[in-house]
Amino acid sequence: MTTSMKTMWAPWRIEYILAEKTDGCVFCNALGEGAELTLYKGPLTMVVMNKFPYINGHLLVAPVRHVAALQDLDREEMGALLATVDQSVRVLKQVMRPEGFNIGLNLGRVAGAGIEEHLHFHIVPRWLGDTNALAVFADVRVIPQHLQETRDALKPHFQAIAP
């Protein structure tokens, strides 16, 4: 029995592979100048595009303050965080017209937190048929739009939000 090796080309990934890796917290670094995937920086919250999205428009909403747990937030931060999640959903609805959303918070590594030291919500827009057999049979996820194009479409809408 002969099996052939399958190749999937992703030339845009070489930029990430060869890029200089940064130290520190991803979210705290996203507050600095030139953070190209940061869509919004408010006084208490921020919105950052996921560099490894499940689907186009996958956003991360985090407090500006470096905290790991919900109980570390004060009431004002808690309210601002949920308001920013709501505003992000509104922008995604306007720009990308999803049919639904998965919104979640993973607390702790065993719960799926890839970055457990800085609390953050995931907002994943969903469309009917946005997953297919490729993910099941080939363990491949298809992202139909380049990350920079998605950013360019969303950024003006987040800039319009007054901090």
Average the pLDDT over 10-14 and give the result.
Answer: 64
CA R_g for the chain = 17
Residue 89 included in any domain? yes
Report the relative pairing of strands 100-105 and 59-63 from DSSP bridges. unpaired
Residue 1 included in any domain? no
| Host domain of residue 150 | 23-159
Residue 8 included in any domain? no
Residue 93 included in any domain? yes
Q: Report the chain's terminal Cα–Cα distance, integer Å.
A: 62
Options 120, 122, 146, 157, the catalytic residue: 120
Residue 60 included in any domain? yes
Residue 11 included in any domain? no
> Closest Cα to residue 84, out of 28, 41, 142, 37?
41
pLDDT digits (tens, 9 = 90+) for 18-67: 766 667 888 888 888 768 899 999 999 999 998 888 888 999 999 999 99
Q: What is the CATH number of the domain that holds 85?
A: 3.30.428.10
Residue 63 included in any domain? yes
Average pLDDT of the chain is 83
- Count of structural domains, the chain: 1
pTM of the model: 0.75
pLDDT score recorded for residue 13? 63
Average the pLDDT over 91-96 and give the result.
Answer: 95
pLDDT score recorded for residue 92? 96
Band of residue 133 on the pLDDT scale cut at 50, 70, 90: very low
pLDDT score recorded for residue 2? 58
Residue 12 included in any domain? no
Active-site residue flag, 122:
no
Phi, psi for 96 (deg, rounded to 5)? -110, -15
